[in-house]
C-alpha cells in the first residue's frame, strides 16, 4: 500500500495536490527571503495549509486561483467552526496570510491584478463581520448548559 493518500485518485488530483504544495513552498520561500522570522513563516504556513489543502483541496478539489470566491465561506464557516484555535487574533492572522498569498500569486502571474484586488477587498470589507461572528459563536458555545 502506498503512503500517498491520493494514490487512488485520478492523476489530475495528484497533480493539483503537487501544484498546491509547490505554491505553498514558493510562498514560504518568498516570506523567508523578505526576512520574516521563522515563527512568522511557520504561522503563515499553518494558515495557508489549512486554507489551501484542508479546505480548498479536500472539500472542493480546486486550485488556489479559484479559491478567491471561497474566502467568505472559509472565514465565516469553516475557519470559525472547525479551527479549534480560532480567536480574534488567529482570524486576523489568517486574513493577513490570505492577503499575502493572493498578492504572491499575482506577483507570480498566477492571477490578475483584478483578482488580487477582489480577494483583498473581500477580506478588508468582511473582516469585522467575521470577527463578530466568531465572538458571537464563542458566546453561544458558553451557554450549552442553558438547554438542559
Give per-residue pLDDT as tens, 10-57.
788 889 989 999 999 999 999 999 999 999 999 999 999 999 999 999
pTM to 2 decimal places: 0.85
Helix, strand or coil for residue 7? coil
pLDDT (tens digit per residue) in 110-141: 999 999 999 999 999 999 999 999 999 765 55
Distance CA 58, CA 81 (A): 16
> 88 falls in which pLDDT band (50, 70, 90)?
very high
Look at residue 2 in the predicted model and tell me its pLDDT. Answer: 40
Is a pLDDT exceeding 50 seen at residue 1? Answer: no
78, 67 Cβ separation under 8 angstroms: no
Amino acid at each position: 500500500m502506498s503512503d500517498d493518500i491520493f494514490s487512488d485518485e485520478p492523476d489530475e488530483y495528484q497533480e493539483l495536490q503537487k501544484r498546491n504544495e509547490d505554491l505553498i513552498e514558493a510562498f514560504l520561500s518568498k516570506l523567508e527571503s523578505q526576512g520574516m522570522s521563522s515563527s512568522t513563516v511557520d504561522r503563515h504556513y499553518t494558515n495557508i495549509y489549512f486554507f489551501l489543502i484542508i479546505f480548498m483541496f479536500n472539500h472542493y478539489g480546486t486550485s488556489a486561483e479559484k479559491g478567491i470566491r471561497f474566502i467568505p465561506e472559509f472565514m465565516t464557516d469553516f475557519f470559525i467552526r472547525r479551527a479549534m484555535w480560532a480567536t480574534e487574533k488567529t482570524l486576523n492572522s489568517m486574513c493577513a496570510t490570505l492577503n499575502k498569498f493572493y498578492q504572491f500569486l499575482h506577483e507570480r502571474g498566477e492571477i490578475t491584478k483584478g483578482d488580487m484586488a477582489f480577494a483583498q477587498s473581500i477580506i478588508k470589507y468582511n473582516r469585522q463581520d467575521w470577527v463578530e461572528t466568531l465572538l458571537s459563536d464563542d458566546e453561544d458555545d458558553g451557554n450549552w448548559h442553558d438547554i438542559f
